[in-house]
Amino acid sequence: MPTATYGETAVPVDDEGFFTDPAQWTEPVAEQIAHESGIETLTDRHWTVIRFMRAQYAEKGTSPTVRVLGKTSGVSVKELYQLFPKGPAKTAAKIAGIPKPRGCI
């Protein structure tokens, strides 16, 4: 399994860089992943989404999709795209240190 190095620590990730073990995540790591994803600064609104996603993952064992986030996080789908322009569910999941949201088909 591939790893990514944040600070001094090597963290197990999947082929696309999503954490496979959310317990390895820290807030400074989130800032670093955000930079790599092209987001300069994590604002309070970003953190609202990130914390919400981690809580959802802890509760349900899956990462929420954009539509579910728009209905439940208190941040509209439109704003989610402004905060995480390259696909909110995927980008926010990566920054939040949880696995990639599953496409259901």
Partner 1 sequence: MSGPHLPYDSGDMGTHIVILGGGTAGTLAANRLRRMYDEHACRITVVDQDDDHVYQPGLLFVPFGMAEPHHLVRSRPRQLSAAVDYKQATIERVDPDARTVHLGGGVRLTYDVLVVATGATLLPEETEGLTGHGWGEKVFTFYDLPGAVALHHVLERFERGRLVVNVADLPVKCPVAPMEFAFLADWYFRRRGIRDRVELTYATPLDGAFTKPVAAKALGGLLEQKGIELVTEFTLGEVDGAGGRLVSYDEREVPFDLAVVVPLHGGASYVGCSPGLGDELGFIPVDQHTLQHPDHPEVFAIGDAAGLPASKAGSVAHFAGETLTLNIGRFLVGQSLDAAFDGHTNCFVETGFHKALLIDFNYDTEPLPGHFPAEVGLPLLKESRANHLGKLAFEWLYWHSLLPGRELPGIDSAMPERGKHRVDA
Give me the residues that bind partner 1 (CB under 8 A), please: 65-68, 71-72, 77-78, 80-81, 85-87, 102-105
CB nearer to partner 1: pick between 35 and 67: 67
Closest separation in Å from C-beta 10 to partner 1: 27
Residue appearing with tokens 């941040």: 75
Closest separation in Å from C-beta 53 to partner 1: 14
CB nearer to partner 1: pick between 6 and 84: 84
CB nearer to partner 1: pick between 4 and 68: 68
Q: How far is CA 11 from CA 19, 89, 93, in A?
A: 7, 21, 15
Our answer to whether residue 104 is catalytic in this structure is: yes
Say how far apart CA 99 and CA 90 lie, in whole Å: 9
Closest separation in Å from C-beta 67 to partner 1: 6
Helix%, strand%, coil% for the chain, nearest 5 = 50, 10, 40
Q: 9: which strand partners?
A: 6
Active site residues: 104
